[in-house]
Amino acid sequence: MATFFGEVLTPSSRAVDEEDDDDESPDVNLLPAVVRWTPKTRSEMEKSNNQCLQCNTLIVAIGEAATGFAQTYILHQDTEVIGVLGTGLDDKDVNTFSQRSATDKVCHVHRLIHNPDVLVCLCNTHVAPEQAFSWVHKLFGSLPRENLYVSILTTIPASQFHSECPHNDLPLPFLRALRTSAYKGTPVCPYLEQPNTLTGLHAQILSYCQIHQIAAVVYVCYTDAYVYVDPRTMKIFQPILGTTPIKDVAKAHPKAEELLADIATKYAEKNTLYL
């Protein structure tokens, strides 16, 4: 944490990827990520000067609570699915653009109709650490690096948060943030305290953005409702609706509470299906 006003912090240095375990053999069946763009999107990329998608704002929601929040407060507007990222797909597999099940193994990339510069990626499937590198490079390989703002939303079990305070005394859920050095804004919540670190897909995205000097911030929700998503956890991300440039993207949803309840019910049914 900052010790004085204006101190330059480098919290992004604690966004790391999980190290390989030398005692375990790699999973030979683990395939790299596959990206599939719609024919319309591929045509747009071919016609562009840099062979990239038109984008200045990318929102990546990882996990059920983060994707539920994005669906409620951002994607209730007119959108179109322009591509999918799959981590369990082979190049010969059929396209899965129409899938909407909570058990899908693909991440959908949405584009706002009224603001095509904004892309929202919903990642509701597990991306293994061995696949995170290719996942990030497949996505960002089609995006411009200049004038790009990236916002990452994710959730982590509160049991993984290291603090001197007992977990029972923590005001769950709560937000913490990490940013790249290119991100000049101030996050709407405290920075992630040491010795906590981030691993996995969100850490891989933040590390990529730091290396390529892309303005990016990750908001992590620590929650005790990790298995069963509840509206309280999804609503913890609400403060970011007032940040730039998301405040220019999000629109009020008159039935937000109802939609949050429906999303929580959907995932509760999915989780109890295998009990």
Pair 177, 190: CB distance under 8 Å: yes
State residue 118's pLDDT score.
95
Q: How far is CA 134 from CA 27, 34, 140, 141, 171, in A?
A: 15, 8, 10, 10, 36
Q: What are phi and psi of 143, to 5 degrees?
A: -120, 150
Give this prediction's pTM.
Answer: 0.83
Give the span between the Cα atoms of 223 and 158, in whole angstroms. 5
3 state DSSP class of 203: helix
3 state DSSP class of 136: helix
State residue 2's pLDDT score.
46
Residue 202 tokens read as 């969100």
State residue 270's pLDDT score.
63
Pick the CATH number of 29-272 from 1.20.140.10, 3.10.20.520, 3.40.50.1360, 3.40.50.10900: 3.40.50.10900
Give the span between the Cα atoms of 207 and 55, in whole angstroms. 20
State residue 77's pLDDT score.
84
Domain spans in the chain, listed from the N-terminal domain onward? 29-272
Residue 8 tokens read as 């330059």
Residue 11 tokens read as 């919290």
Pair 251, 79: CB distance under 8 Å: no
Cis amide prior to 129 (ω within 30 degrees): no
Tokens 């597999």 correspond to 93
What pLDDT, in 10s, does the model give residues 165-194? 776 777 889 999 999 999 988 899 999 999
Residue spans of the chain under pLDDT 50: 1-13, 18-28, 96, 98-99, 102, 273-275
